[in-house]
Chains A and B, each alone.
Chain A
């Protein structure tokens, strides 16, 4: 039972345009969400996070939007750059306690076309 879903396994975007990666979750206990970027042969790199008390968090070119009623979040990257080509994982956890395990989505492979 996949509690965190990334329905698009791949996405291609022209350089300079906006990349939008989507993530849906089913577990209503999740209220802290993170995006990780992963290059081949490397570990996931933390990008940005959001807790359920917010609906938007921005950090440079990266913005995460959370729609808690729809159990949906998205990562916007603008403008997209060739170095953004990677696999992006959405992850979720409850925030009631520290040290909680992450539940990952299946990932979206983003390719930025020069």
Chain B
């Protein structure tokens, strides 16, 4: 079965550079979520999109922005990178089943960003 695809898998940047992370959700999934996992920490929610509109926002720095495109893929743009941005960035996708309000988020393999 198709899974969530993230690219690149690894990224090394210098401080103050920019980075773009891409996420391709499972086909027919309409919601994309971005999470950040620092070393030894739990994944923290950054931002989500439903049907190409931002649906929720978490602890995402103003230096970061994201969007979901017409083909439902999403990109996380990170500018003025700082050392503390080094982390695993996970994308997850979901689709709401029926009217229960319940949906399961399926995660991609993550992008490991290292800021030097």
- Residues of A that sit less than 8 Å from B by CB: 4, 32, 34, 36, 41-46, 49, 51, 89, 95-107
Contacts and interface: CB of A to CB of B under 8 A. Distances in A.
Contacts, number: 73
Interface residues of B, number: 31
A49 B101 CA distance: 14
B90 A44 contact: yes
Nearest to B43: A104
The residue in A4, A32, A45, A100 that gathers the most chain B C-beta atoms within 10 A of its C-beta is A100
B43 A89 contact: yes
B33 A44 contact: no
Interface in B71-116: 90, 92, 94, 96, 100-110, 112
Contacts of B31: 98-99
Contacts of B106: 46
A99 B48 contact: yes
Contact of A105 (B42, B44, B55, B108): B42
Nearest to A53: B100
A105 B100 CA distance: 24
B88 to A, nearest CB: 9
Contact of A43 (B56, B58, B94, B108): B108
A51 B107 contact: no
A50 B30 CA distance: 22
Contacts of A101: 33, 45, 48, 56, 58
B45 A99 contact: no
Interface string B32-62: 0101000001111100101000011010000
A-B pairs, top 3 by smallest CB distance, nearest first, are A98-B96, A43-B107, A104-B42
